[in-house]
Each structure stands twice: as structure tokens, then as C-alpha cells.
Amino acid sequence: MQLEKTYLEDFSKKLEAIGWNQRNPTKLEGFIIMEEFRKKLKELNPDVFGKFDEDEIISKTFDYLQTFDEVAILEAIKYGVTILMKERNSNVPVTLQLIDYKNPNSNSLIYIQEQEFSQGMFTDRPDISLFVNGIPLVIIEGKNPLKFSTETTYYEGLKQIRRYQKEISNLFRFVQFGIGFGNRRPYMATFPCEKIIPPSHYSFWKPKGKEDILDFLEPSNLLDFVHFFNFFARDQKGNRIKILARYMQHSATLKAMDRIRNYLENQSNKKNGLVWHWQGSGKTFTMFFIANRFVHEFSKRTPLVFMTIDRLELQKQFEDVLRSVENRRLGSVKTIENIGELQKTIDTADKEWGMRIVTMQKFRPTELKLKEVDRKEVLFLVDEAHRSQYGDLASTMRNVFNKGMFFGFTGTPVFRNERNTFNEFSYLPEEIFLDVYFISRSQEDGFTIPLTYRQVEDTKVNIILGEDEIKTIIEGFEDNPDGVEKLLSGDLARDVNHKLRKKINQTRVFLESEKRIAEMVKYLAKTTNSGKTRLEEDTENFRFKAMIVATNRKACAIYKQEMDKVFGPDFSQVVMSYPRDKDNDLIHSEKCRVMKEWDKDTGDANKKIVETFLKRENPKVLIVTDMLLTGFDAPILKVMYLDKPMFYHKLLQAVARVNRPHEGKGRGLIVDSVGLLQHIHKTLGTYGYLADGQDEKVKKELEGLLSSSGDELKKFKDNLILLKEN
């Protein structure tokens, strides 16, 4: 106990060094230090106190904080408390600020060791409590790492805070963060709880790549975080959750806002930026944090934000995120449903404000009456910026909003001559990206997990493509990626030369062969030395789930047919878009089955299949070719059977579907049945080099991303030598 006390005393001195003042345990009223609360309320709101009765103001403000729930209290902490005061025989609303965010150090900043909090039969004394203007905002629970043999002493502190959340739940209507203090010092969201829940969601603060919780607790940083990076929301089940920014989201937001301010205040002409964050790091919320702050900070200039996406499934994702956030200052959030609505927004852009969700496909130059919008306060946040920013649609968007600001978000930028994400959003050569967060940091922080790679061995029917075929596809992909993808999908591609078209068509026929796909399904059903099927073993007895990525729609239909024969009809389902025309009997038959079993609208059917996959035991396997390879966040997904040639950004996006953390899921698994092993390092190496700029770091990134089983590990490491040669 003495060791732990000494440890906390040392931390207390560090708190004092960054601006916190110690106070002995004191009497509280409704969890608030009343004399500090009264004093600072008067200082922050002199006009209100000069006009109305002091005791009545204090009483009504205090009653508000004792009456309402944690969402209303967070709103009050951020934006002030609005009460009714009598003036000339009528009630008038007045708003009182609780915290001075512009001058953080002018607030009352108090820390107390072992302050007593009571509720009902429970009395708890957290190690350290932080109060701002008398209001408790942070609870710190420390464990001396010298006292425990475990490497996660901080987790014991987090667990104790979770216990406090249940026992003295009313305190956590005010407390925004809990910090576990031990060998490491994570922060987590806090809120009132009816039961003790394990601390599964917590983060480590790394402002400069190294953990530093004191930087988080520095008053200006802490209050800025409370104000702009801390929200209540509803999850998919309607349960209330708390959203806190991760450090890389915080960093990107601050950098973006610096650029926005400098541009709008005529300090700089730079108005674009590329945020390059690895898949799974939370880009959607990073975009939300930037949009929310921009709308709040420039509210007097009617700020307008376009959340720009290029797929309907991403539109729903953004709608769900923005509309789930419980924040009355968010502004109007609308989805632009058609080109007519976009035209109206353009025509009235000088008066529009708030957030708009729009797909790139609506910026059709032939269907819009184009006029230049003469406003600077328009912010475009472009999701998956590597995909849709190179043609007429993007040009139309930028020409109409010529003075607007454009920030791209991607985990996999494109850098071919005709399609170069850096050219569109960066300021080359001095600035490649505004902010970067690449693979190794994401894995180190636990936001994504490493991947293990396995190649399918030869069976009775040759499954793996030969070196010549892969070389042909890669060369074709580099010259004409869209054309090659069309050919592999079975579509026409007249802009591909005859020789290449012939070779790739031969490859497509091989990959979609019924005999070959039947052999692949047998591979999945084969009993291993453990006595389980390979699919069962890969998914850890179906504790997790799997995805098959087929070459095209026809191959998807064949996979479903063969999987049904071996595993039964409920075991797997296909998620893909369907052509209107009956161009293939197998595809048409699958479409009819889906419409009969799931929904007459195939789009709605796909949504229902995905929802069932996420929430129920079956299906255990999804069969896809293009859908769900971007933006699909499913921690339950562990295994990807990759049976489609993919390269560069598309390859990285696809394999990242299995990198989401889940309890008990140590690694994701990529099973390659095409033969891409020796080519994966080129893709990863190039991205690693651009992110880090040094060969040694590239190698470290690569070896950290993929580990191969058996002899493949040696082959993979040998291939790294080719980095400098290529």
C-alpha cells in the first residue's frame, strides 16, 4: 500500500507541474465542489449575474445538473446550461457557460486524492479525481506496477473504475473519462452503468508516437478533448455508447483545422490535404470530428460540409454514424438523394449550412446547370479518395466549388500516372500527406491485428495460376486496370488490346471453371490432422467466420452451388450486385433464389444477408466478388479465401477486411488460391516506402503485416530482398 501511495504521490506532482492544484478531500453537494462552482459560474457569466438574482441563478443551474441525464450534462459542459429567468412578468431563456474553453488555465483546476463519493449503500474513494470549476470530469485509478506480477496493472485500475460506474452511477453523469494507472496509462469513456462491464474499449495517448497521458491531461488539451472529441451515440442495437477520439484521429483533426483556419483567415492558399490512415483506424469518425469542429468553429460564416462517398453502402454507413451521434450542435445532416437536390444545394449554396452526404456519381456535368459557387466556407471530406477523384465527376465538383476546401481520406492511395491521389490532394514534393497512420502503428495500438498468409497447395486439379498468367494480369493491370477488371468479370473491354484480351480471357475461364471451384470447395472440406475440416480449423471451430472472394459473378454462383453440395444451403450466402439482363443462366438462377429466399429487391436482400451474417450462427461464409471488399467492418470475420487476382490498393483494401480486432482473435488469415504470394510484397513495400521513406522501415512494416506459415515464411522474407531491385 505504501508503494502504491508513493507512486501516486509522484504522479500528483506531475499533475501540479502541468497546471492542476491539489486540494484535500472536501464536502460535495451532488458530486460538485459548490464554492468553486459558484465562484466560476459568476466569473464566466457576469452579464447574467448583473441582471438577475445570484441565488436563483445558482439554484436553477445546480438543479439542472442534478436533474438531467449524462447526455444533457455533456451538452451543458460543452455549450452551457440554459435556464428560464423571470423578466417583466415573462420567462426568458438565458445560457450560462460552465467552462472557459478559450482560456483553459483560467478555470478552477483541482485534483483530490481519495475524494469520497457516496450513493445509496456505496461509498468509493478513487485514487485521484480531477475537477474543473467544481465539476468532476476525470477519475484516475492507479496500481503500482512494482506490486503486481501482471503486465497489465493498468487494466486492474480500469476494472475498478467500471465498478465505480455501477456503484456510484450518478457521479458518472459528470465524469467523462477514466484513466487506468500502472505500467501503462490508457484512457476510456465513462458513463452510468446498471451492471459492471469489462473495460474492453480503451486507448493509449501517443501525441508524438510515445505514450504520454500527462499530455492528454494538460488542461488545454483535456478541455479541448471534452469539447470536440467526446460524444454520446447509439449503436446498431439502439444502446447508448460513448465515442472518444483515438490519438491519430485527434492529430488529423487538429492538422486539418489548422489548414482550414489559415485558408479562411487568408494566411495561406493551401486548402487541400490527404489523410492517409490504414484500414480499420476509424476514418469515418475522423471525418466526423473534422466536420463537427468546422461547423462549430465557423458557425457565424454558415459553414457547409459535403461528406463525399462513391458507393451507396458507404452512404448508409455515414448516415448511421452521423445520425447516431447525440449532439444538438451538429447542425442539419441531410442526404442528397438525387441530382435535383444537388442542383438546389448548389443554387442556394450561399445560404446553406450544416452537413450533407452525397455520392460522387451525382456530379454529372451533363445533368447539372453548372455555376461557380463564390464561397470559401465549403468543406469536402472525400472518403476512399483513391477511387473517384480523377475524371469528369471530380472535375465538376471542384470547378463548381472552386474556392472550397478538399480533404481526401484513404488507407490505400493510388499513384499511377493517370490516377494519382497525391496529385489531387497533396502539395508535392514538399507535402506528400497531411497526416499518416500506417500498418505497424495500427497493429501496435491494437486497432488492427496482424495477418497470417497461406497459399493453397496443389491438388488433383491445378488451382494456382502460373507465373506467366500472373505476370500478364499485373502488366495489364498497370496499363489499364479498369479494362482488366472488366475482362476478369466477364464484361466487354474494347479498350484492351487483342493479345492481352485473349490471355486474360483464358485466365478468367480457368478461374471460373466449375471443376476447379469444386476442387477448391473440396480443399475447404478436407479433414486435417486435427480431425476437423480445413474451414473449421481456419475459423477456430466457427468461433469466427469466413469470406470467399471469387473472380466474378459467375464464379460466385458456382461457389454457392458447390458449397451447398458439401456444407448445406444455410452454410454460405452470396452478396453481389446482379445484372438486369439474363446474361448467364447460373447468375440468373442465383438471383432468383436470393429474391425468393431473402427479398425481391436484391439490394435489400444483400443487406439482410449481411445483417444475418453478423448477428446469427448462419451463414458462416459469405461469397463475394466486389461488394464488401471496402468499408465492411466485421470483427467476427477472420478468414479470407482469396480466389481473385487483385493488386495494389484493391489488394490491400480486400485483405484488410480480416484485420479487425475481436476477443480471442489473434490474427486474420489470408488463404491465397490464385498465387499472389511473391507479388504482395511489391504492393506493401511501395506503400511502406511512401509512408516511412526508408528501406529498413519498409522491411519492418512488411514483416509485421504478414507472417507466413511453414516454408512460406522463408520465401516471403527472401522476396523482401527484391525491394531495392524493383
Grid coordinates representing 484? 482488366
Q: pLDDT tens for residues 324-369?
A: 787 767 666 888 888 899 899 888 988 888 888 888 878 887 888 8
Q: State which of 258-272, 448-462, 658-672 shows the largest mean pLDDT.
A: 258-272
Q: Is the model's pLDDT at 320 over the cut of 90? A: no
Residues 6+ away with beta carbon under 8 Å from 505: 487
59 or 389, which is more confident?
Answer: 59
The percentage of the chain sitting over the pLDDT mark of 90, rounded to a whole number, equals 50
Q: How far apart are CA 219 and CA 108, in angstroms?
A: 10
The reported pLDDT for the residue numbered 444 is: 83
179 dihedral zone (left: phi>0; alpha: psi -120 to 50; beta): beta
Rounded to 10 degrees, the C-alpha dihedral 49/53/55/59 comes to -80
- H/E element holding 17? helix 2-17
Q: Mean pLDDT score of the chain, rounded to an integer?
A: 84
The reported pLDDT for the residue numbered 492 is: 59
Three-state secondary-structure class, residue 454: strand
Beta bridge pairs of residue 449: none
Q: How far apart are CA 533 and CA 422, in angstroms?
A: 45
Q: pLDDT tens for residues 97-107?
A: 999 999 999 99
The reported pLDDT for the residue numbered 712 is: 40
User: Which superfamily does 451-466+512-675 belong to?
Assistant: P-loop containing nucleotide triphosphate hydrolases (3.40.50.300)
Report yes or no: 576 and 553 within 8 Å, Cβ to Cβ: yes
Banded model confidence at residue 161, pLDDT cuts 50, 70, 90:
very high
Grid coordinates representing 315? 452512404
Phi, psi dihedrals of residue 448, rounded to the nearest 5°: -135, 165
**Burial (CB count <10 Å: 0-12, 13-18, 19+), residue 492:** exposed
CATH 3.90.1570.50 residue ranges of the chain are 2-48+101-243
Report yes or no: 307 and 381 within 8 Å, Cβ to Cβ: yes
Domain 246-437, CATH: 3.40.50.300
3-state secondary structure 283-314: HHHHHHHHHHHHHHHCHHHCCEEEEEECCHHH
Selecting from 3.40.50.261, 3.90.1570.50, 3.40.350.10, 3.40.50.970, what CATH number does the domain 2-48+101-243 have? 3.90.1570.50
Q: Is the model's pLDDT at 616 over the cut of 90? A: yes
CATH 3.40.50.300 residue ranges of the chain are 246-437, 451-466+512-675
Cα 468–Cα 469–Cα 471 angle in degrees, nearest 5:
65
Q: Is the model's pLDDT at 461 over the cut of 70? A: no
Look at the block and give the residue holding cell 452551457. Answer: 80
CA separation, residue 566 to residues 518, 533, 543, 554 (Å):
10, 11, 20, 19
- H/E element holding 589? helix 585-597
Report yes or no: 404 and 291 within 8 Å, Cβ to Cβ: no
Residues 6+ away with beta carbon under 8 Å from 482: 493
The reported pLDDT for the residue numbered 328 is: 65
The reported pLDDT for the residue numbered 704 is: 46
Q: pLDDT tens for residues 567-599?
A: 999 999 999 999 887 778 899 999 999 999 999
Q: How far apart are CA 606 and CA 109, in angstroms?
A: 53
Rg (CA), the chain: 28
Q: Which amino acid is at 461?
A: V
Q: At what angle do helices 648-655 and 677-692 cross, to 10 degrees?
A: 100
How large is the average pLDDT for residues 276-293? Answer: 87
The reported pLDDT for the residue numbered 292 is: 92
Banded model confidence at residue 80, pLDDT cuts 50, 70, 90:
very high
Residues 6+ away with beta carbon under 8 Å from 217: 15, 18, 20, 130, 138, 179
Q: pLDDT tens for residues 683-712?
A: 665 565 555 543 344 344 434 444 444 344
